[in-house]
């Protein structure tokens, strides 16, 4: 199970980036957006492998941004907090409630919320951003704006 988790969360994004980079470099433009997790930044109890893989994506994003930035390629990483997905289906109501108590909006994020964050990184408005990790507080701030 751990090997598959590393394959999906760490090696797949790295290998995909390596496949698409030659074309981006020849065009001198492109955007790569990796999806990490707040656990990649702060770790997660009972989530050592997941936290390690997500931390690896953050490090990969930072290094790759420095490497390919001069070629006009932006590499960013979105680091959301807890998202309402099947991954969390085994959490009890009490666990979810406790986690949501720590979030100013009082709710888990959604897949759509993460997609909106990635969409901002794809747009021209973020032309200056490279290797910027969007932490839980920034995601929550964005969600407040979206919901307003």
CA atoms of 113 and 23, how far apart (whole Å): 29
HSE-up (13 A, CA, CB side) for residue 80:
21
Residue 50: active-site member? yes
**DSSP 3-state of 92:** coil
CB 108 within 8 A of CB 82: yes
Distance of CA 41 to the CA centre of its chain: 11
Which of 9, 50, 53, 57 is catalytic? The answer is 50
Q: Which residues are catalytic?
A: 50
């Amino acid at each position: 199970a751990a090997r598959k988790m590393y394959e999906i969360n760490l090696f797949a994004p790295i290998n995909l980036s390596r496949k698409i980079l030659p074309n981006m470099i020849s065009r001198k433009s492109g955007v790569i957006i990796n999806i990490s997790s707040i656990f990649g930044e702060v770790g997660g109890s009972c989530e050592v492998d997941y936290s390690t893989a997500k931390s690896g994506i953050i490090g990969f994003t930072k290094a790759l941004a420095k490497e390919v930035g001069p070629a006009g390629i932006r590499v960013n990483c979105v680091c959301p907090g807890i998202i309402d997905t099947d991954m969390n289906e085994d959490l009890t109501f009490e666990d979810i409630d406790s986690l949501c108590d720590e979030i100013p909006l009082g709710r888990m994020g959604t897949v759509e919320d993460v997609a909106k964050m990635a969409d901002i990184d794809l747009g021209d408005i973020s032309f200056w951003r490279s290797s910027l990790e969007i932490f839980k507080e920034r995601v929550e701030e964005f969600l407040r704006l979206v919901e307003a």
